[in-house]
Amino acid sequence: MTEQETYQPSKKEQAFLNKVENGKYDRGIIRGLQKFIDNKVPEEMQGFYSDEELQALINLKNTEKDVEARMPVKITNHYYQIAKNSRAVQNLIKASPKETFDLEGAPDPGKQLTYSPLEGLIHKYELGLIYVINTCSAHCRFCYREELIAKKEIHREDGTIASKGLAKIPELVNYIHQHNKAVAENGGRHPETNREKLREILMSGGDPMVLNNRNLSEWFAALAEAGIESIRVGTKELAFFPERFDQTFFNMVDNWHETYPEVQLRYMVHFNHPDEFLQKDENGNYIDNPDGGLVWIESTKKAVSELAKRKFIIIENQAPFIKGINNDPDAIRIMQRELKRNRINNHYFFCGRDIIGHKAFNLPIEDAWNLLNDSQKGLLGVEASARLSITHYLGKTEVVAVTNDPIPGVPGAENGVVIFKLLRGAEDAPKKGKVAIVGRNPEAIWFSGYEDRVIYDEAGLFAESMQSTSSVTLEAQSAMVK
C-alpha cells in the first residue's frame, strides 16, 4: 500500500470510533421487478403492479428500453405502506414503460466528471460532493444519479469507459490537505484552479444513511480531522426508512459533536410530497393535529424531532419537481408549511436534470416556476424561503422569474421572458449573480429549449449549454446499456 492508500486515525478520532455501536435494521426491502413478476413478494404487496403493468414491463426486458437497465427497482416496506394509499408516491417508486420511451439525455448530467479530480469526488466551488455509496433504501424512478445507481459505464474525459466509483477516506483526506495547503500558500486561491479553500463536503451517493454507523462515523471523523468546517449529508431515508434514525445513530452523532464541536452537520433531506410524512384519514385527507399543524407518520415525526432538537444539526429539504408526483401547488404549499413548523428549512426545489429518459419526468421550466410561485402564495416569508434551481454545467442557477407581458421595444420579449441567475459558478465565485434573459418557451424542459431566443446572457449560460444534452450520442447511450 502506498502512503496515499492508508489512513491512520488520530488518538482523538480512534477514541470516538471506539464508542460507535451499529444498529440493527429490518427495512423489508424488495429488490428487482423479478420478485413482483414471480410473485415472491409478501402477500399484501402482490397487487402493487397489476398484471397489465407487469406484462408491459416484461415485454421491455433485455431490450434497449428495459426500465431496470436504466434504474433498478427497489422499495422498503415503510415506503410501500405509504405508496399503497398515495398516487404521487406510487408514481415515484413504481417502474413504468414511459421511462424509456425517449432515451435522450446526458450520461453525465451537469458534466460532473469535468469537476472530478479524484474518483468519487466532484469538486465545485468551495464544496466537494462525494459518492460514499451507490444505492439508497429505495430507488426513485426519476433519480438523477441513475448512472451511479445502475452502475452504468460512461465515457470519461480521458477516453476510457467505466462506471463511476466511490470516494475513499485516505485519498480524499490527502486531496483535501493538498488542496487547502496549496490555497493557503497562494494567498487564498489555488494556483491552478483558482478555487478557494475546500470548506464543506456533501456526502451523497446513493444515500449515506444506508451505511452503518461505523462507516458513517469514520467519514464524519476523518472529514473533521481534515479541517472540513461543515459536513452535509444528502438523504431520503426520512421518507424511505425513518427508523434508521435510532438511538445508536444519535449516540454516535452526539459523541461526534462532543469530539468535534466546531464542525457543523447539515442534513439535506428529500421529501417530494407531503404524503411521504403525513398521515391520512379513511377519506384520504390529512388529519388536523389539535396541537397545531397536521398529524405526521409517527416514526418520521420521531426521527425529525430528534434531529431538530440537536442545535448542531441543521435540516434542510430539497427536492425536484417531477411530473405526476408533485406538480400540485396545494401539496407543495402544505409541505413547505409543515416542514418549517417542524424545523426543516425549505432550501431548494429543482427543475429535473437532463438525465437519460428525462422527458418522462421533467416539468417544463416555466411550469415549475409557476408551481413554486403558486405554492408560496399565502405562506409566511420564513416558510417560502425555497428557490427554484436548475443545474447548468456552469453552476447552480436560479429560475428567478417568468413574466407574461411583452416588454415594449425588446425584440424576443413579445411573449414575456424568463430570467435565470447564476447562484454559484462551478469553477469559482466571480460569476455569481450574473443573469441570462430569454424569450419564453412554455415547452422548454432544459436550457436547450431557449437556445434560439436568448435576449441577454452575461452569465454565459447559452454559450455552450447544448453540449450537456445534444452531444450525447447514440454511441454513448448504447455504451451505457450493459
- Contact residues: ligand SF4, CB under 6 A: 136, 139-140, 143, 145, 206-207, 236, 270
CB of 270 or CB of 421, closer to ligand SF4: 270
SS3 317: strand
Q: How many CA atoms lie within 13 A of 10 on its CB side?
A: 11
Provide the minimum distance between the beta carbon of 211 and ligand SF4 in the complex, in angstroms, as a whole number. 13
**CA dist list (Å): 96 to 49, 91, 137, 361:** 10, 8, 19, 11
For residue 353, the minimal CB distance to ligand SF4 (Å) is 10
Q: How far is the CB of 91 from ligand SF4 (least distance, A)?
A: 13
Q: Residue 194: CB partners within 8 Å, gap ≥ 6?
A: 427, 428
Sign of the dihedral defined by the CA atoms of residues 77, 349, 310, 180, in that order: positive
Q: Are 270 and 339 in contact (CB under 8 A)?
A: no
> Where do runs of H (alpha helix) occur along 260-362?
298-308, 329-341
Other beta carbons within 10 angstroms of residue 326's beta carbon come to 26
Question: Letter for the amino acid at 476?
Answer: A
**Helix (DSSP H) and strand (DSSP E) numbers for the chain:** 15, 16
CA-nearest of 28, 52, 53 to 41 is: 28
Crossing angle (nearest 10°) for helices 329-341 and 365-375: 50
Name the nearest CA neighbour of 346 among 446, 274, 283: 274
Grid cell in block for residue 87:
398516487
SS3 letters across 131-193: ECCCCCCCCCCCCCCHHHHCCCCEECCCCCEECCCCCCHHHHHHHHHHHHHHHHHCCCCCCCC
Q: List the strands of the sheet with 387-392, edge to edge.
A: 121-124, 127-131, 200-204, 230-235, 264-269, 313-320, 345-350, 387-392, 395-402, 417-425, 435-439, 454-457
Give the nearer residue to ligand SF4 in terms of CB position, either 109 or 206.
Answer: 206
Q: Which three cell numbers stand for residue 29?
A: 426491502
**Rounded to the nearest 5 degrees, what angle is found at the Cα of 210, between the Cα atoms of 163 and 477?**
25
